[in-house]
Every structure is written in C-alpha cells, then in structure tokens.
Amino acid sequence: MLYRPFGKTGKNISVISFGGMRFSEPKDLQKSSESLLHAHDKGINYFDTAPIYCGDRSEDIFGHALRQLPRESFYVSTKCSRPNGADLRKSLERSLQRLGVEQIDFFYIWHLMTPTDWEQRKQGGAVEAALQAKEEGLIGHLLCSSHMEGEGLAQVLDDKIFEGVLLGYNAINFPYRRAAVEQAGKQGIGVVTMNPLGGGLIPQNPERFAFLKTATANDVVSAALQFNLSHPAITTALVGFSNTQEIDQAVAAADNFVPYSEAQQQQLQDNVETAFDGLCTGCGYCLPCPVGIPIPKYLDSYNQLILTNGDQQAVRDRYRMHWNITPQQAKECIRCGGCEERCTQHLPIMQRLAELPD
C-alpha cells in the first residue's frame, strides 16, 4: 500500500481509504466488520463513516471492528451536518461512543451544498463547537465535505479553517471540482476524493470509459483510481466497499500505481469530451442562469437517464440524494437560451430540464 502525508497534519494516510456507506448487509454486524478488518489487513488505515449511513448502522459496524484493532493502526473519520453548535456536540459525543474511541481523528463539517450552507454552519455555532471540541482533544483535525462546484468550495477553503477537504472527484466530474482541488493543493491541506468510481457509473460503463486504461491499469476501476491518485494534490481516494473483492481490486490498483504523466493527463482530459458525447461534463460554462437554476447539477442528474438506459429513479436519486435539489426549480426556466449558446457539449439543456422526472 502506498501512503501519503495528509496535508500538514503529520499523519500518513493510505491512498485507498475505506468508505462505510455501502455495506451489503448492514444488519449483520459481524459480517460487515469482517470487510473492514480485511481492508485493514491489506494496509488501508483511513476509515470514513457518518451517522445515517446504511440505515444508521455504519458507525456501529465501525465501532465493532475498530475495537478489535490497535488504536495506533488506523485513523477514523465521521461527520455532522447540523448547523447548530449544541446539535453538533451531541452528534459528536454519540459518534465517539459508537466508534469506541476517545478522539475522532478527522471530523467533517458535512454536506456543504451552497455558500449559504457554509454561512449557516458558522452562524449557527457548528464551526465554533467543532473547534472547541478540537481544543478539548475530542477531534484531531477539522475538515469539510462538500458537493459544491469548485469555485464556491475554493472560497470556503479560503477561510483557512480546515485542514482537509472531502469532495467528489472522478473522470466524470473533474472539470466541475478542479478549482477546489487546486486551491487545496495551494494551501497544502489534505484532499479526500469521494465517488472516485463515479457512483458506480464507471464500472457499469466500461466501454465508454475504456480511454482511462493504461499499461498498468487495464481495467476501468483500476484506471479510474489511478486517474485520481495521479493528481498531486489528492491524498486518498475514498471507496465505498461492499465486499472483499472490491477491496482487493482497489488495493491492487494502488500497489500497481504508476502516475499518469502530464501528457497522459492532458490526453485523458481531451478524451473526456469524446467519451461524454451527449453527456454533461459538469464544466459549468453554461452558467450563470438569469433565474439561478444550477444547470450542471440538473444536467448531471440527467446523465443518469442516458447511462442507465432510462432509469428514472436513478435520476431522482441523483438530484435528491447527491445534489439535494428538487425538480421544481428546473421548471422555472424562462427559455432565454443563453446556457445552450455557452454549453461546451452543445446539449439541448432546455429540453433536458423539461424532461426531468418529478
């Protein structure tokens, strides 16, 4: 396993990290714990969970497994999305108790979706409560997690409160998040990437993503992980594992890791355009919209309709669960046409907004 320094924290993190949001049988504490222990055996030392994952079972599974391991052999992270300081404190204390540790190594101000969210976390006291808990030693390092577009998130990082950031970054959406990764790199803070496999879309569409493959990564999963790890600012790729085979495959990708050269990376970025023929790449050039519609989020959701051959539920899950938006705002489009003139992919944006399922 390859390890990288996590920003300026003095901690070295495995480049593949364990995400606890996809246990296949979360009610089975023993079985779920085994996959976590297997990952630890393979050299993974960063374990990420959150309240509510897997029907609110994930933290209990982590606690069951981590109690069996030497404390100095792993780092654990969890999160809180509440804006109120007292609520955050309560959630943190419950996480500590469930995980069976005296300190959360990496604690996230969770799920920042908009600049307003960020203001609310500050004004509601959540940030202050987290910093206070850090003073008390209950938190090792404070980070944030976000689905905001790159520029907005870069501004949050500019406040210089966080020692690291968790963001979605992969071969599908990297243009949308690149600014935040660059900003984190400039600040020298840790970067954890979630969804390195595009929420499953990359392994489900191997032909479309075949362009990612290299001599040392001859399957799309390995290639997608190597794509992430090739970015010098990225510390670790967080993968939500469902079984031990997935762990072994990801660990093998790290073991065989050969960074893409700059020329290869440029080539890949160019190839994304071809691979995304008819798909939104999340580049954001269609913005701004005069009525404030977050077009890339809706068009990214519409991507699911194409990639899943018409599964409307996949689209709903994407905009509700991933982006936290509803189809109502898309219906406010006044059909000015500005976004379509600017779209790098020449997509029929107005038509797609109208076709989004309720």
For residue 171, what are the CA distances in angstroms to 15, 29, 38, 166, 189?
A: 17, 34, 27, 16, 22
Closest separation in Å from C-beta 345 to ligand SF4? 4
The torsion angle over the Cα atoms of residues 85, 54, 71 and 73, rounded to 10 degrees, is -120
Find the part of the chain contacting ligand SF4 (CB under 6 A) among 19-27, 137-145, 226-234, 285-293.
285-293
Separation of alpha carbons 177 and 282, rounded Å: 9
Separation of alpha carbons 302 and 279, rounded Å: 8
Find the part of the chain contacting ligand SF4 (CB under 6 A) among 4-12, 40-48, 318-326, 337-345.
337-345
Separation of alpha carbons 286 and 340, rounded Å: 7
Closest separation in Å from C-beta 151 to ligand SF4? 13
Is 156 near ligand SF4 (CB under 6 A)?
A: no
Is 282 near ligand SF4 (CB under 6 A)?
A: yes
* Window 293-312: contact mask with ligand SF4 (x via CB under 6 A): x-xx--x-------------
Separation of alpha carbons 146 and 110, rounded Å: 7
Which among 109, 80, 75, 76 is positioned nearest to 93, based on CA atoms?
A: 80
Separation of alpha carbons 281 and 328, rounded Å: 23
Site for ligand SF4 (CB under 6 A): which residue of 243, 335, 348, 355? 335
Output 115 or 337, the one with its CB closest to ligand SF4: 337
Is 338 near ligand SF4 (CB under 6 A)?
A: yes
Site for ligand SF4 (CB under 6 A): which residue of 193, 226, 235, 281? 281
Contacts with ligand SF4 by CB under 6 A lie at: 280-286, 289-291, 293, 295-296, 299, 333-339, 343-345, 347, 349-350
